[in-house]
A = this chain, B = another copy of it.
């Protein structure tokens, strides 16, 4: 009986295999690919991920640490065991660490900040004090400043408009900003632009502490003395070693002197705990801040200035440190010069179990399983490259220097870069090139969620519905398609994607692991295994997901880039831009009418003495027709290309090779060689990190930021650049189309 059933099941299984379609695979090759994926899943092992996670997080492993180097070597050895040609790609990079830190409130009720996180008996690695990096912001300026304190909310430009209305200037002051609302590096940058001489950044318990849930070690959330470390380098200008923009930090690289570097903060910056922030915030006088600015400390939040002064003194060791990227390659059986690249960083601010190691161990599991497939003769057609980056935390050091160092080779060979950066229990998330959207959806349909037994796609859909509001639920119902998000900055895809135009993605699970450990000494194995992904079930789910993505991209006949989806997406962004300018125009007009009618004057509380708004220049009408024409052309080409690809179920090797090269290099045409205004390193014309938001993506960044900053001359220039870029992109896709129409 058992035997008979097995045969029946094998039959049914292969029958279902043969019915399935996978983008990029000719019909005869689908079942082989599905069989490879099935075997791949069989090699994944949560216990091994757990062993690696425990080893790699055993000691602090930041840039330049002994454990950081040991971890790189440990991983390199494993990759070699799994059959990969593996190297440690090493660069010397600028990495400042604290030499002296002092923060005190002066005056009659003085307070000396502790600036120290507490070892906990419930967390076995939290007491490794001698190896821990102190709490600090990397790439702060040295400084010794004494001044009144002003509270600036998140510290983004809009907050300074509010302060201005209240008649409060930060000129010559030290500002204190909450973490959140933007990438942290924006806060001191904007503060310095407004004349501040120092900047403190604290974790308010509202976003990151007891308001969210019980604090560690009772629950997972940030306790009162815990501090979020992190970089404040001006990465929206360029990431990587600040002494070598555009080129790898090789021994012979020409380096900028420290004083020539524009991306190091101009003022001293220090992150502090909410315990240390409380006496400082209590010392603030002046008006009560708007409700949206207030946090969860048991005080009335005032804007300041403080009655008494604050003294902040910071000195750093401005040393060059070696970084160790692990680069492991498995040569492709058919197209060895087409590289499918996977990466996650391995450096942490301290023990870094969640960030980054939980993603790293999934990637290792994928590499091991693909190695095992290869040993059984199922070598991927294209070369797969597994990378473990060092120095991501300070400023994407490892990935950026490696990409800059190998730029020419990558432009020729890189098919895709797939990133992860940590992982936890929950729901699939994916951001990246929209040409990947269909392929991502297909993979998400084929991976089973470990908690519910349905596909990770189905579970994501269920959550979107269950949390939808009444107004959007009908639109969402029945629509299982996952719209992927656009990528700003924030992890190692940035140099591949926004500097070189290599189709890229960032994948991970999340939403159910509870937080609070971010960039602190509590991002430990003990914390992770209690709160983030007990048993590493989602480590395995990530490996299944990213592994399928790697295998499908490596084995595809025609590479599964669907540029008609990218065109749709760009059209959507362009509609947003047009609405943005129209809304901006009507809101300026209305605001100016209200000002002329004295509405704000009459509505104001005379006791509050707020500054009244002043009239703004009207928003001009712009000629968008060149972009509209280019998009119309692109729509035709990408629809035709999609149609032609869908009809091709057999092509000779030569045609495939030239077609695929066009497909994977096409997105490089979306770059403008001169880059974006004020930041030439960022070349992609569709996606960029926001100049004033950091992590937050700006799509069609040239236009969007021009409009947001009311810079009409620049916006007009960017319209021309965008339309030309789109036409360049169109013409390379037309080449692809002509190959298929031959």
B211 touches A600 (CB 8 A): no
Q: B-facing mask of A208-227, CB < 8 A → 1, else 0?
A: 00111111000101000000
A603 touches B467 (CB 8 A): yes
Given A451-B606, A602-B454, A602-B459, residue A466 in contact with residue B298 (CB < 8 A): no
Q: Is A463 among interface residues, defined by CB-CB distance under 8 A?
A: yes
B219 touches A300 (CB 8 A): yes
Q: Is A66 among interface residues, defined by CB-CB distance under 8 A?
A: no
* Complex Cα–Cα for A330 and B321 (A): 93
Within 8 A of B (CB), among A467-508: 467, 470, 473-474, 477
B605 touches A512 (CB 8 A): yes
Q: Is A587 among interface residues, defined by CB-CB distance under 8 A?
A: yes
Given A512-B607, A593-B477, A606-B451, residue A600 in contact with residue B466 (CB < 8 A): yes
Q: Is A653 among interface residues, defined by CB-CB distance under 8 A?
A: no
A594 touches B466 (CB 8 A): yes
A68 → chain B closest CB, angstroms: 33
| Interface residue from B214, B296, B463, B594 paired with A298 (Cβ < 8 Å) | B296
Give the residue name and chain of the B residue nearest to A583 (CB): B470
* Complex Cα–Cα for A593 and B474 (A): 11
Q: Is A452 among interface residues, defined by CB-CB distance under 8 A?
A: yes
Given A215-B300, A300-B211, residue A587 in contact with residue B470 (CB < 8 A): yes
* Complex Cα–Cα for A477 and B587 (A): 13
Within 8 A of B (CB), among A569-620: 583, 587, 590, 593-594, 598-607
* Complex Cα–Cα for A601 and B215 (A): 28
How many of chain A's residues touch chain B, expressed as a range? 35 or more
A210 touches B298 (CB 8 A): yes
* Complex Cα–Cα for A587 and B469 (A): 10
What residues on B are CB-neighbors of A473 within 8 Å? 590
A424 → chain B closest CB, angstroms: 12
Within 8 A of B (CB), among A402-429: 425-426
* Complex Cα–Cα for A459 and B601 (A): 10
A290 → chain B closest CB, angstroms: 12
Q: Is A166 among interface residues, defined by CB-CB distance under 8 A?
A: no
Given A214-B288, A477-B590, A603-B459, residue A297 in contact with residue B298 (CB < 8 A): yes
A475 → chain B closest CB, angstroms: 11
Q: Is A205 among interface residues, defined by CB-CB distance under 8 A?
A: yes
Given A210-B298, A470-B583, residue A452 in contact with residue B219 (CB < 8 A): no
Q: B-facing mask of A437-481, CB < 8 A → 1, else 0?
A: 000000000000001101000110011011100100110010000
* Complex Cα–Cα for A329 and B269 (A): 72
* Complex Cα–Cα for A426 and B594 (A): 20
* Complex Cα–Cα for A512 and B587 (A): 27
* Complex Cα–Cα for A465 and B299 (A): 32
A603 touches B463 (CB 8 A): yes
* Complex Cα–Cα for A189 and B463 (A): 35
Most buried by B among A288, A425, A467: A288
| Interface residue from B213, B298, B477, B587 paired with A205 (Cβ < 8 Å) | B298
* Complex Cα–Cα for A44 and B213 (A): 56
Give the residue name and chain of the B residue nearest to A603 (CB): B466
| Interface residue from B210, B462, B474 paired with A603 (Cβ < 8 Å) | B462
* Complex Cα–Cα for A607 and B531 (A): 10
Give the residue name and chain of the B residue nearest to A210 (CB): B300
* Complex Cα–Cα for A451 and B426 (A): 56
What residues on B are CB-neighbors of A459 within 8 Å? 602-603
Q: Is A294 among interface residues, defined by CB-CB distance under 8 A?
A: yes
Q: B-facing mask of A288-305, CB < 8 A → 1, else 0?
A: 100000101111100000
Within 8 A of B (CB), among A104-132: none
Given A300-B219, A602-B462, A603-B466, residue A590 in contact with residue B512 (CB < 8 A): no
| Interface residue from B213, B465, B603 paired with A300 (Cβ < 8 Å) | B213
* Complex Cα–Cα for A216 and B270 (A): 34
Given A462-B599, A477-B593, A598-B462, residue A211 in contact with residue B294 (CB < 8 A): yes
Give the residue name and chain of the B residue nearest to A299 (CB): B210
Given A465-B594, A470-B587, A474-B590, residue A214 in contact with residue B300 (CB < 8 A): yes
A465 touches B215 (CB 8 A): no
* Complex Cα–Cα for A205 and B213 (A): 19
B296 touches A452 (CB 8 A): no
11 new A-B contacts at CB < 8 Å, known A212-B300, A426-B605, A466-B599: A210-B300, A213-B288, A425-B605, A459-B603, A462-B598, A463-B603, A466-B600, A466-B603, A467-B603, A473-B590, A477-B594
**What are 26 pairs between A and B in contact, CB < 8 Å?**
A205-B298, A210-B299, A211-B300, A212-B300, A213-B300, A215-B300, A219-B288, A219-B300, A452-B601, A454-B602, A458-B602, A459-B603, A462-B598, A462-B601, A462-B603, A463-B602, A465-B594, A465-B603, A466-B594, A466-B599, A466-B600, A470-B587, A473-B590, A474-B590, A477-B594, A512-B607
